[in-house]
Amino acid sequence: MVKYEKGSPDWKALEEEAISLLSRYLQIDTTNPPGNEILAAQFFKSIFDREGIESQIFESAPGRGNIYVRLKGDGSKKPIILLNHMDVVLADRRFWSMEPFSGVIHDGYIWGRGAIDMKGMGILELMTVLILKRQEIPLKGDVIFLGTADEEAGGRYGVGYMIDQHFDLIRDAGVVLNEFGWIYVRDGKVEHYGIAISEKTPFWLRLTATGTPGHGSMPRADSSVNKLIEVLHRIIEYQTPIKVVPDVQNFYADLADFAPGPFREKLKDLKSALQDPAFVAQFTRNLRSNAEIRNTISVTMLEGSNKVNVIPPEASAQIDVRLLPGEDPVAFLEEIRKVIKDDSINIEPILAFTPTSASPADSELIQVIREIAKQYHPGAVVTRPLLVGFTDSHYFRKKGIPSYGFVPFKLADQDLALFHGNDERISVENVRFGIRILYEIVKKLVVD
């Protein structure tokens, strides 16, 4: 445990502590499913216990743990929730250069599944709580640390459970600081600070086809698999309409001056520019840009026979649909039915959230991050991108609690490709920088 005089953090020692803790944290396998987040919750609890900070673990199902900590303030400001999820997605060792759960420090990086998404941020939030406690700084607002389960599968056993069963612990919060949004680096230079205030809504679907079963040696045109392939082909060929929502229009206008000359004027009014088919072709080559301007559909899971020589009576596919803000899931479902042109296909929603409004675009948190950005990177723009994925923020927004995504890591395109990818890692430099920035943000919100 790091010791230092109150009011004068020993940042070098704190940085080394954070690096060591993240390395240990990444060694805990919380792949979801099954999650086993209770192990991560116990890891955090052991640290809080050592520091004399009261914590509670809530087990939403066997092995599914959530941890809650509250540093008390004087109540003159509303609490802030430092939210992080403790589960991670699958890592296939065959495609990794390092063991996915080794937490090894190599070549200036800390390697491991979850380093970016989002165990790295979890450690930054942990360190913020520890520093505030060790310094015994009088707080105006409570600081809540909330580590949760199951975000990668929709949050049923995590934030969903905490809001359903223990909302009294967090209902008074004024703001939530969550994942996504980062300090974007282009060509080695910080370009912008992105703060996520809105996100697309998941609308995951299962399509099931039925047909006459039989022996694989006697092909049938009406087999369930053939029917499924036909409708999936129609879905893959379908291009959803382009729609530019205000958050996306504003985001590209904010960044227009950083674009190459021919694109600057176009990005200042993206909606108008996308009337030009040639520009559409250029703009949508970038997968993220394409996802920002349309509802997207990805075929991700297929299931048919369990034996190669059996034509199954049923075949199914799961598709990952992400809807733009303001879209109606019921209307989109009807759109899909028209695309597949086959009433015999059963379509079943398997994950669908109620669309929520964006968090306020000019809150105190955003103003604080503007001040931080001006201090550390005077030429950078602070903007508010649309998150094309989804996070647990929607649970809080539905309850009227503003939630923002901002992780103080400096990331370039090659770093962003590591989300859910192979060889996930975060630089040691980012951890050193991140703990200072997050601490400053929180301190300005609940102390200054």
ω into 213 cis (within 30 of 0): no
How far apart CA 51 and CA 189 sit, in angstroms, is 38
What's 324's domain CATH number?
A: 3.30.70.360
What's 407's domain CATH number?
A: 3.40.630.10
- Indicate whether 83 and 156 sit together in one domain: yes
ω into 33 cis (within 30 of 0): yes
Whole-Å CA distances, 212 to 16, 217, 220, 231: 63, 14, 8, 17
In this predicted structure, what is the pLDDT of residue 7? 60
Q: Which helix (H) or strand (E) holds 382?
A: strand 381-383
Q: Is residue 216 part of a domain?
A: yes
* Average pLDDT, consecutive stretches of 10 residues, N- to C-terminus, the chain (448 residues): 58 97 98 97 98 98 98 97 98 97 97 98 98 95 98 96 98 96 94 95 97 95 96 97 96 92 91 96 94 97 96 97 94 97 96 87 95 95 93 95 97 92 97 97 94
Q: Is residue 421 part of a domain?
A: yes
In this predicted structure, what is the pLDDT of residue 260? 85
Q: Is residue 128 part of a domain?
A: yes
Q: Is residue 416 part of a domain?
A: yes
Domain span at residue 253 reads 245-294
Q: Is residue 3 part of a domain?
A: no
Whole-Å CA distances, 391 to 76, 154, 196, 271: 29, 8, 10, 27
What type of residue sits at position 427?
S
Chosen domain end from 355, 374, 393? 355
- Indicate whether 218 and 333 sit together in one domain: yes
In this predicted structure, what is the pLDDT of residue 38? 98
Q: Phi first, then psi: what are they for 195, rounded to 5°?
A: -120, 115
Chosen domain end from 278, 294, 310? 294
- Indicate whether 45 and 171 sit together in one domain: yes
CA 435 to chain centre: 19
Q: Is residue 5 part of a domain?
A: no
Q: Is residue 272 part of a domain?
A: yes
In this predicted structure, what is the pLDDT of residue 357? 84
Total domains in the fold of the chain: 3
Chosen domain end from 262, 277, 294? 294
- Indicate whether 67 and 92 sit together in one domain: yes
- Indicate whether 176 and 86 sit together in one domain: yes
- Indicate whether 143 and 233 sit together in one domain: no
The token duo for 174 is 């004024």
- Indicate whether 45 and 123 sit together in one domain: yes
How far apart CA 202 and CA 393 sit, in angstroms, is 13
Q: Is residue 6 part of a domain?
A: no
In this predicted structure, what is the pLDDT of residue 3? 44
- Indicate whether 337 and 392 sit together in one domain: no
In this predicted structure, what is the pLDDT of residue 5? 43
- Indicate whether 23 and 171 sit together in one domain: yes
- Indicate whether 193 and 215 sit together in one domain: no
- Indicate whether 120 and 62 sit together in one domain: yes
- Indicate whether 110 and 163 sit together in one domain: yes
Q: What is the DSSP string of 387-400?
A: ESS--THHHHHHTT
